[in-house]
């Protein structure tokens, strides 16, 4: 479970987060939806403990990210916004490296890596170097390294950008499977259709604040719009100067 | 936590060994130094040992055949079509014979561009041959007049060279050691850049820092990987030096060169802390850079400092007690003493290693702090 309460963060003259509070529950896919520059990445970085908020806190399974970042990071898998791969390692070595950083060793590590490779259906590319991978293959490696330690919480930052239909499907199936296992999935995006299709709950944030929270259907109902896209536009449109 | 260190170190090593650029860099510096020095020595020895014939312009040779013969004995000849004369002119005056007979001074001119350094050694050979001839004539004249030639040379200099063969070798081989030290600073450079600025350029730094690993372990493991390469380069050149110098006839310069296995092992041990220091210094610089290229620019500027220090100490032989224990200079001294066959002050060696490691540890702390700072990591 991931909970943020009253997160505030300012960079020089820009206030990126203005008292952001939301919750992502276990067994649910929570979408963090907002236009570019809404503060999504800053929010996620606070959860990883890479950024210290000025006030407020981010907690993962009731552990404060700025107080015990290492304990928090053990409980999360991260699919980052920009994922760079080590191009001279094979997909298997790559995933094994991050398994090692999570404290897995020896046979346990081998088994965990093989499990992920099977789950993501990537046996055909497992022993090739990642240097020449396509975007979809790269995504699989990045997903593999995010879930190899079987984290209770999975955080994905704009995961479906640049993916083809097949890759998107693999991603979606994986997320549904993890959700069925009772894991907490937090998913940031600026693409409404994707969020509407995947998420149980949506948190819409604009300019560092939550403006609406609920299931896609609830949000449509609340705004009186038929499509989720219209609802989204209406919800964020009240803010001045926000462009999609 | 040790296992995390090993995981990162192993990964960085695998990565670097597969990177041809890193491998080439490490190997080329190691090979380049000793081989270049060997070639340079071969040239020097050839020059010094075999006195080559010198051809100069001699005007008025017909006036002083005896002098010309004397010069010929000293391998100084008049130039002809086959052997073009150097731009050195020896002018013998018309009245040579006349003045010689009447024991009047003879003015012989040596005309040349004295700013031309390449002719310098030939000029001085010509001049000393003339001086020698001058002394010979003088002593003949005195002998004819019944005076011992000893009268005009009251002082005789007896040169006794106390330099041991090893010490003489150290003078020359010190330059080779400069290359060993440079190998330390250049062999690991690519690995250091790849693990820091390269990580940032690949967009993998943020993800790495978001792993449940103490940042100090990451920094130490990355420094260790770069340090391993740095040491590898230095070890390679230390092993190569005796091999390469088998082919250089150093004995012709009166230099006895030997490097035992124990000497080599000692040198390698001494260089371990320096390799750690060089690598963390490189990480410190290149973690600040946004890209591989930027890091290369910064590092080559910063690496200029230790190289300048090495050269300064080597060529000026500047002495100060602090040099015994400072990073770079202390190691330089041990290397010099070892090949010079001098006693090594092991207490100072330990002091130097201790201080080098202390500076390294301080830099590890600084880099760790840097990587925990939002400003440095995200460039905010």
Q: Which residues of B115-154 are buried (b: 16+ CB within 10 A; e: fewer)?
A: eeeebeebbebbeebbeebeeebebeeeeeeeeeeeeeee
Which of A12, A72, A86 is the best substitution to test chain B (most B C-beta atoms within 10 A)?
A: A86
Give B373 to chain A, closest Cα distance, Å. Answer: 8
Contacts of B208 (CB under 8 A, 6+ apart): B199, B218
B52 vs B139, residue with greater confidence: B139
In terms of pLDDT, which residue wins out, B36 or B133?
B133
**pLDDT tier, A113 (very low <50, low <70, confident <90, very high otherwise):** very high
pLDDT bin (cut points 50, 70, 90) of residue B279 is very high
Chain A / chain B CB contacts < 8 angstroms: 75
Residues A127-136 have a mean pLDDT of 90
Give the pLDDT confidence of B13-35 residue by residue, as tens digits.
999 999 887 788 777 877 877 88
User: Which 9-38 residues of chain B touch chain A by CB within 8 A?
Assistant: 11, 14-15, 18-19
User: What is the per-residue pLDDT for A156?
Assistant: 92
Question: Does residue B47 surpass a pLDDT of 90?
Answer: no
Span B352-364, mean pLDDT?
95
pLDDT at A242 > cutoff 50: no
What average pLDDT does chain A have? 87
Can you tell me the ipTM of this complex?
A: 0.89
A32-78: per-residue pLDDT in tens? Answer: 988 878 888 889 999 999 888 999 999 999 999 989 999 999 999 99
pLDDT score, position A196:
79
Asked whether residue A93 carries a pLDDT value surpassing 90, the answer given is yes
The mean pLDDT of B164-191, rounded to a whole number, is 79
For residue A241, what pLDDT band results from cuts at 50, 70 and 90?
A: very low
The torsion angles phi and psi of A191, rounded to 5 degrees, stand at: -100, 115
DSSP per-residue letters across A70-81: HHHHHTEEEE-S
Domain ranges, ordered by start, for chain A: 1-75+153-244, 84-150
Distance (Å) from the C-alpha of residue A224 to the closest C-alpha of chain B? 40
Whether A93 and B14 lie within 8 Å, measured CB to CB = yes
Q: Which of residues 24-53 of A touch B (CB under 8 A)?
A: 45, 48-52
- Per the CB < 8 Å rule, is A86 touching B377? no
- B355, pLDDT greater than 90: yes
Q: Rounded CA gap, B92 and B101, in Å?
A: 15
Compute the average pLDDT of residues B74-85.
85
User: Looking at residue B48, what is its pLDDT?
Assistant: 64
Instruction: Give the pLDDT confidence of B151-161 residue by residue, as tens digits.
Output: 888 888 888 87
For every residue of B294-310, DSSP letters joined together read HHHHHHHHHHHHHHHHH
Q: What's the pLDDT at A97?
A: 95
Query: Please, which pLDDT band fits residue A240 given cuts at 50, 70 and 90?
Result: very low
B300 and A CB contact within 8 Å: no
| pLDDT at residue B110 is higher than 80 | yes
What percent of chain B has a predicted confidence (pLDDT) above 90? 30
Structural domain boundaries in chain B: 2-45+167-378, 53-152
Confidence of residue B50 (pLDDT cuts 50, 70, 90): low
Residue B49 pLDDT exceeds 70:
no
Q: What is the pLDDT of residue A36?
A: 79
Q: Average pLDDT in the A204-228 region?
A: 82
Residue range A1-75+153-244 forms a domain whose CATH class is alpha beta
The predicted-structure confidence for A149-208, as pLDDT tens digits, reads as follows 999 999 998 887 777 788 888 888 889 999 999 999 998 887 777 787 888 999 988 888
Measured between CA atoms, the residue of chain A closest to residue B6 is A100
Question: CA-CA distance, B356 to B352, in Å (whole number)?
Answer: 6
Cβ contact, residue pair A71, B212, below 8 Å: yes
Question: What pLDDT, on a 0 to 100 scale, did the predictor assign at position B259?
Answer: 78
Specify the pLDDT at position A189: 84
Beta bridge partners of A20: A7
Q: Is A11 exposed, middle or buried (0-12, 13-18, 19+ CB in 10 A)?
A: middle
More confident residue, A195 or A29: A29
Encode A27-51: b = buried (16+ Cβ within 10 Å), e = exposed: ebbbbbbbbebbbbbbbbbbbbbbb
Residue B380 in this model has a pLDDT that exceeds 60? no
pLDDT number for residue A3: 93
């Amino acid at each position: 479970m991931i909970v943020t309460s009253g997160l505030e963060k300012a960079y020089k003259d820009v206030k990126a987060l203005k008292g952001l509070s939301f919750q992502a529950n276990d067994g649910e896919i929570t979408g963090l939806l907002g236009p570019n520059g809404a503060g999504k990445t800053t929010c996620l970085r606070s959860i990883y403990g890479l950024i210290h908020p000025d006030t407020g806190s981010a907690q993962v399974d009731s552990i404060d990210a700025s107080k015990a970042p290492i304990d928090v990071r053990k409980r999360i898998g991260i699919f980052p916004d920009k994922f760079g791969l080590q191009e001279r390692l094979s997909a298997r070595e790559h995933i094994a490296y991050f398994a090692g950083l999570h404290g897995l060793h020896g046979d346990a590590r081998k088994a965990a890596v093989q499990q992920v490779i099977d789950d993501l259906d990537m046996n055909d590319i497992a022993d090739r170097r990642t240097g020449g991978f396509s975007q979809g293959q790269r995504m699989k490696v990045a997903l593999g390294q995010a879930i190899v330690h079987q984290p209770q919480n999975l955080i994905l930052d704009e995961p479906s950008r640049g993916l083809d239909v097949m890759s998107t499907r693999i991603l979606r199936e994986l997320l549904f499977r993890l959700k069925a296992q009772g894991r907490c999935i937090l998913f940031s995006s600026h693409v409404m259709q994707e969020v509407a299709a995947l998420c149980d709950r949506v948190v819409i944030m604009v300019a560092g604040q939550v403006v609406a929270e609920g299931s896609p259907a609830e949000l449509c109902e609340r705004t009186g719009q038929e499509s989720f896209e219209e609802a989204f536009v209406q919800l964020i449109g009240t803010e001045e100067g926000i462009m999609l | 936590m040790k296992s995390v260190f090993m995981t990162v170190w192993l990964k960085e090593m695998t990565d670097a060994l597969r990177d041809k650029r890193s491998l080439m860099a490490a190997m080329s510096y190691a090979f380049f130094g000793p081989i270049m020095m060997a070639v340079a020595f071969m040239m020097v020895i050839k020059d010094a040992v075999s006195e080559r014939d010198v051809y100069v312009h001699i005007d008025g040779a017909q006036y002083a055949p005896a002098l010309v013969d004397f010069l010929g004995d000293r391998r100084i000849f008049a130039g002809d079509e086959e052997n073009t004369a150097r731009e050195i002119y020896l002018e013998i005056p018309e009245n040579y014979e006349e003045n010689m007979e009447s024991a009047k001074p003879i003015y012989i001119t040596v005309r040349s561009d004295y700013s031309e350094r390449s002719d310098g050694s030939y000029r001085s050979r010509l001049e000393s041959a003339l001086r020698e001839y001058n002394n010979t004539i003088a002593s003949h004249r005195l002998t004819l007049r019944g005076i011992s030639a000893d009268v005009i040379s009251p002082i005789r200099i007896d040169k006794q060279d106390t330099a041991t063969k090893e010490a003489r070798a150290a003078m020359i081989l010190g330059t080779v050691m400069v290359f060993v030290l440079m190998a330390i600073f250049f062999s690991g450079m690519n690995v250091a850049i790849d693990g820091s600025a390269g990580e940032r350029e690949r967009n993998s730094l943020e993800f790495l820092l978001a792993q449940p690993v103490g940042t100090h372990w990451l920094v130490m493991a990355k420094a260790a990987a770069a340090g391993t390469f740095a040491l590898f380069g230095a070890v390679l050149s230390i092993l190569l030096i005796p091999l390469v110098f088998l082919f250089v006839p150093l004995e012709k310069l009166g230099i006895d060169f030997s490097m035992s296995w124990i000497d080599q092992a000692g040198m390698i041990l001494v260089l371990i802390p320096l390799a750690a220091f060089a690598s963390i210094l490189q990480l410190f610089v290149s973690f600040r850079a946004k890209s591989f290229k930027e890091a290369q620019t910064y590092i080559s500027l910063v690496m200029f400092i230790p190289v300048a220090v090495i050269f300064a100490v080597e060529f000026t032989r500047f002495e100060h007690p602090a040099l015994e224990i400072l990073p770079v200079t202390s190691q330089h001294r041990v290397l010099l003493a070892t090949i010079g066959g001098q006693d090594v002050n092991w207490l100072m060696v330990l002091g130097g290693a201790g201080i080098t490691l202390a500076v390294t540890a301080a830099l590890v702390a600084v880099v760790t702090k840097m990587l925990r700072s939002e400003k440095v990591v995200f460039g905010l």
